Structure 1
Amino acid sequence: MGDHYFAERPEAASRRGTVDLVLRDLHLRLTTDRGMFSPDRVDPGTRILLDTVPPPPPEGDLLDLGCGYGPIALTMARRSPRASVWGVDVNQRALDLAVENSQAADLDNVRFVLAEEIDAGARFDAIWSNPPIRIGKSALHDLLLTWLPRLTPTGLAHLVVQKHLGSDSLQRWLNDQGFPTERIASRSAYRVLAVSARTEGQPR
């Protein structure tokens, strides 16, 4: 795939651009760059997630897993101004742009960090993600098993995954791991999955 968007330090020469995120309740102009996920437009999966997901909790800690330049995290922050939103990614170029985009949107309730910068004891009332499927199944499973156990008991994760990239098998796998998972939306070959916290007595 050449210069992966999930590289820590992308090798692609910088060439900044802008994209517009237009939803029923907000309009954000976001700065993007080469070497990150979907720099030329807001990814259709991200847009479908943001169009269909229920409102985020009004308070608490919320997480965007694999935040890129910030469209999901910034939407969470705008929709829940009293919440503390965290955007996590491995791509430092994307994180730097996400910070710029939060400042441009005048959103001060969101932080963009590397995973190790989040307190190990932090728990999340919501996790929204367009997960990096192309890192491979094993790495994706490891990623989800790192973060989904950090949902609060009443927390929900919402993931958007293309059908042809394994959304149905991922749903089965999540259920097998003890995370009750259901499909809440299906549009343009994308599935939006709602994942509940693992409860006592479920398989690990």
Structure 2
Amino acid sequence: MNKKQEQYFTNQPTSAHDLHTINFNFAGRELIFKTDAGVFSKLRVDFGTKVLLETIHSHFQELPDGKILDLGTGYGPVGISLKALKPDLKIDMVDVNQRSLNLAKNNLELNDFSANVFQSNIYENVTGSYAAIIVNPPIRAGKTVVTKMLVESKKHLINGGIILAVLQKKQGAPSAERNLKSTFENVEILKRNKGYYVLQSVND
């Protein structure tokens, strides 16, 4: 693959390393994230993820009890932020990008947390059942990938489990809303912020 065209959902990025450190304040705690070239949003926690995390924080007591899947974890901002809310939370953090996973493991250690981190192309290596699946889908990977992340979540949720997803309106939120409604027979818009929608469906 041409390195100029290499995307963050590449399995083994070959981009020259370009290391950065992000200081991220969440729920009163200062978190540290190391990032690199070849991963999503290397210079800052992206706005969609921030909106997703703010929504989770405000609805945290409503999350079902059980293990959480951070799908497409990147360098780990979602999973690690959830650990900041509840350090003993059981979280699986998965991504197709091996460089992202190495960063996620290092960032967990940097912030004195632990979680189960492993490589998976969407749900390929995911075998457990979860109380919640949380995803900021990689829009650039295409509609097929995004739809699979949303629709196939149902197979990996416990009864009463939820999927939480953030998407921009102009990059597929209405389509995602329809797909979730069709799959789960329910969907709720938990938050709208500057064109970003946080969607929730419950596996009843």
Fold-level similarity (TM above 0.5): yes
Q: Unmatched 5+ residue regions in structure 2?
A: none
Matched ranges for 1:187-202 at <5 A = 187-197=193-203, 199=204
> 127, 139, 147: which one pairs with 2:145?
139
Structure 1 residue corresponding to 2:118, chosen from 106, 109, 113: 113
Q: 2:53 aligns with which of 47, 50, 53?
A: 50
- TM-score scaled to structure 1, two decimals? 0.89
**C-alpha separation in 2, matches of 1:6 and 1:148:** 22
* Count of aligned pairs: 195
Structure 1 portions without partners, runs of 5+: 200-204
> Is 1:183–2:189 an aligned residue pair?
yes
Of 39, 46, 71 in structure 2, the residue corresponding to residue 65 of structure 1 is 71
Shift, 1:170, TM fit: 1.0
Out of 85, 99, 106, the position equivalent to 2:105 is 99
Q: 1:195 to 1:58 in 2, by over 3 A?
A: closer
Secondary structure at 2:60 match in 1: coil
Runs of 4+ in structure 1 deviating by more than 3 angstroms, as ranges, are 56-59
TM, length-normalised to structure 2: 0.89
* C-alpha distance in structure 1 between counterparts of 2:41 and 2:32, whole Å: 14
**Match for residue 11 of structure 1 among 10, 14, 27:** 14
Q: How far apart, in 2, do the equivalents of 1:152 and 1:130 lie?
A: 20
Identity %: 33
Question: What RMSD, in angstroms, separates the aligned Cα atoms of the two structures?
Answer: 1.7
| C-alpha contact 2:150 2:179 (8 A) present in aligned 1 | no
Shift of 1:26: 2.3
Kept in 1: contact 2:154–2:183 (CA 8 A): no
Query: 20, 33, 37: which is aligned to 1:34?
Result: 37
Residues 59 and 82 in structure 1, CA contact (< 8 A), matched pair in contact too: no
In the other structure, the counterpart of 1:128 is: 134
